[in-house]
């Protein structure tokens, strides 16, 4: 498994590997306490240096045979594809993995396949005067994630400010101030997330989440996800068919996909497709089959070509709230957690930012405060429970 240092997913994937009694081998970006325990089965790689990282994995496979290479997050998907190809293991074509990591390449491939999506232009340089997308539009970096640096602009003046701000965010993220940006038509409507697994028969949909909170910008904080979607079967079928076309257009052919689409009336537009599963701790909102199997367990089975388990999600509604960071400063306290946990329907709360850590809201920030989970009979009740519990939390951030 490629488990980047900043991943939220390590415990859940390691837990699933334990359930499956796998001999896990971990590649991470920094030495880690795990390394002492794991010895030969721990490797340090730089995900940004794909060639060297793949070399290191291929060399390790000489001594420690590998049956599959799984990337937990976006950072590792290209390395996993390249190394698996070289070792003759099932994999995504490296070009497909790369296309999901560069929003301009992704838009180009989706456009060539006539997949419905916003109109877009790539902006090289700092001056958006020549951009003819119109307003409102969305400015975004090509390679970041978690809505970092994604900004809506409603007129030429706000577009200019957005471009300057996104360029600074890209520079801070190590992309260089001159890195190109994407400017897209703003798609109104409601947003849904499709979690899927791609195999020989194409995309199997594991879950469709609604994002019931309005996401109209100027910044696009993801907060609540609830499943099942309230859109219902005909629209869900249409979304599934658009996602299948998009996945095929990118060439993604193996393993998880995470798609974001917007729906307005009967029109579906693709926001993006990633060749990984849902981020943060959000997968904990998903349980499958009678045994309550985790998403990570299903993904590892699929990666290893093991016989699939039942992939039908449990029947109750379920949701997660990614707790936004409301202000910049030092996190001092998250109070009233007990009260939040007592809200009917709330099943878990995990604050993932350590007390004392400096935090920043979007569009610059790149972390959530934590994750709140709920379940119930009805997706609306689940969303209401998440809102109520979040409203009780006393988040103290000292400027």
Ligand X SMILES: Nc1ncnc2c1ncn2[C@@H]1O[C@H](COP(=O)(O)OP(=O)(O)O)[C@@H](O)[C@H]1O
Binding residues for ligand X (CB under 6 A)? 118, 138, 140, 144-148, 150, 184-187, 191, 215, 220, 260, 262, 271-272
Residue 73, contacted partner among Mg ion, ligand X, none, CB below 5-8 A by kind = none
> Shortest gap between Cβ of 171 and Mg ion (angstroms)?
21
Pairwise CA distance, residues 390 & 399, whole Å: 21
In sequence order, the 6+-apart residues with CB closer than 8 A to the CB of 130 are none
Q: Which is nearer to Mg ion, 6 or 291 (CB)?
A: 6
Give the long-range contacts of residues 90-93, CB within 8 A, separation 24 or more: 90/254, 90/303, 90/305, 91/254, 92/251, 92/252, 92/253, 92/254, 92/255, 92/275, 93/251, 93/253
Q: Are strands 181-185 and 190-199 parallel, antiparallel or unpaired?
A: unpaired
> Shortest gap between Cβ of 209 and ligand X (angstroms)?
12
Q: Which is nearer to Mg ion, 89 or 106 (CB)?
A: 106
The upper half-sphere exposure of residue 305, i.e. CA atoms within 13 Å in the direction of its Cβ, equals: 7
Taking CA atoms, 275 is separated from 99, 166, 251, in Å, by 9, 24, 10
> Shortest gap between Cβ of 353 and ligand X (angstroms)?
19
Q: Which is nearer to ligand X, 6 or 291 (CB)?
A: 6
Q: Which is nearer to ligand X, 107 or 301 (CB)?
A: 107
Q: Which is nearer to ligand X, 107 or 244 (CB)?
A: 107
Residue 373, contacted partner among Mg ion, ligand X, none, CB below 5-8 A by kind = none
In sequence order, the 6+-apart residues with CB closer than 8 A to the CB of 345 are 374, 375, 376, 381, 382, 384, 385
Pairwise CA distance, residues 71 & 385, whole Å: 33
> Shortest gap between Cβ of 392 and Mg ion (angstroms)?
28
CA 214 vs. chain centroid, Å, equals 19
Q: Which is nearer to Mg ion, 24 or 320 (CB)?
A: 320
Q: For the stretch 108-137, what's the b/e string if a residue is b when 16 or more beta carbons lie within 10 angstroms of its beta carbon?
A: ebbeeeebebbebbebeeeebeebebeebb
Q: By CB under 5 A, what part of segment 115-144 binds Mg ion?
A: none
The upper half-sphere exposure of residue 266, i.e. CA atoms within 13 Å in the direction of its Cβ, equals: 1
Residue 184, contacted partner among ligand X, Mg ion, none, CB below 5-8 A by kind = ligand X
Residue 193, contacted partner among Mg ion, ligand X, none, CB below 5-8 A by kind = none
Q: Please give the helix or strand (H or E) that residue 342 lies within, else none.
A: helix 337-342
> Shortest gap between Cβ of 260 and Mg ion (angstroms)?
5
Q: Which is nearer to ligand X, 82 or 139 (CB)?
A: 139
Residue 284, contacted partner among Mg ion, ligand X, none, CB below 5-8 A by kind = none
> Shortest gap between Cβ of 166 and ligand X (angstroms)?
11
Q: Are 374 and 347 in contact (CB under 8 A)?
A: yes
Bridge partners (DSSP) of residue 196 are: 205, 257
Residue 153, contacted partner among ligand X, Mg ion, none, CB below 5-8 A by kind = none
User: What residue number has its CB nearest to ligand X?
Assistant: 220
Taking CA atoms, 393 is separated from 312, 345, 365, in Å, by 33, 16, 20
Q: Are 56 and 29 in contact (CB under 8 A)?
A: no
Name residue, tokens 């849904």: 192
Residue 336, contacted partner among Mg ion, ligand X, none, CB below 5-8 A by kind = none
Residue 115, contacted partner among Mg ion, ligand X, none, CB below 5-8 A by kind = none
Q: By CB under 5 A, what part of segment 245-304 binds Mg ion?
A: 260, 272
> Shortest gap between Cβ of 241 and ligand X (angstroms)?
20
Q: Which is nearer to ligand X, 185 or 380 (CB)?
A: 185
Number of residues that bind Mg ion (CB under 5 A): 2
> Shortest gap between Cβ of 141 and ligand X (angstroms)?
8
Positions touching Mg ion (CB under 5 A) are: 260, 272
């Amino acid at each position: 498994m490629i488990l980047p240092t900043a991943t939220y997913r390590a415990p859940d994937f390691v837990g699933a590997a334990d359930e499956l009694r796998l001999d896990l081998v971990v590649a991470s970006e920094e030495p880690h306490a795990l390394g002492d325990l794991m010895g030969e089965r721990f490797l340090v790689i730089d995900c940004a240096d794909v060639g060297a990282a793949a070399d290191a994995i291929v060399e390790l496979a000489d001594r420690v045979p590998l049956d599959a290479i799984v990337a937990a997050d976006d950072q590792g998907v290209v390395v996993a594809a390249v190394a698996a190809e070289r070792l003759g293991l099932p994999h995504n074509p490296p070009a497909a993995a790369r296309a999901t990591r560069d929003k301009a390449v992704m838009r180009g491939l989706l456009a060539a396949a006539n997949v419905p999506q916003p109109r877009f232009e790539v902006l090289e340089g700092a001056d958006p005067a020549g951009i003819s997308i119109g307003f409102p539009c969305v400015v975004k970096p090509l390679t970041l994630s978690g809505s970092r640096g994604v900004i809506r602009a409603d007129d030429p003046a706000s577009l200019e400010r957005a471009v300057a701000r996104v360029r600074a965010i890209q520079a801070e993220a190590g992309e260089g101030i001159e890195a190109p940006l994407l400017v897209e038509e703003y798609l109104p409507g409601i947003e849904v997330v499709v979690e899927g697994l791609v195999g020989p028969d194409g995309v199997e949909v594991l879950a469709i989440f609604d994002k019931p909170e309005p996401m109209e910008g100027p910044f696009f904080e993801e907060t609540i996800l609830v499943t099942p979607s309230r859109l219902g079967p005909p629209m869900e079928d249409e979304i599934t068919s658009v996602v299948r076309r998009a996945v095929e257009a990118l060439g993604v052919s193996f393993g998880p996909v995470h798609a974001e689409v917007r729906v307005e009336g009967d029109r579906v537009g693709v926001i993006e497709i990633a060749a990984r599963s849902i981020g943060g701790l959000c997968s904990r909102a998903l349980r499958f089959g009678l045994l309550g199997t985790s998403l990570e367990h299903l993904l590892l089975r699929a990666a290893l070509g093991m016989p699939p388990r039942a992939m039908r999600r449990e029947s109750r509604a379920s949701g997660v709230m990614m707790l936004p960071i409301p202000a910049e400063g030092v996190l001092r306290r998250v109070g009233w957690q007990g009260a939040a946990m007592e809200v009917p329907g709330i099943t878990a709360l995990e604050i993932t930012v350590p007390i004392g850590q400096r935090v920043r809201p979007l569009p610059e920030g790149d972390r959530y405060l934590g994750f709140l989970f709920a379940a119930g009979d009805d997706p609306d009740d689940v969303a209401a429970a998440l809102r109520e519990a979040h409203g009780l939390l006393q988040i103290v951030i000292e400027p």
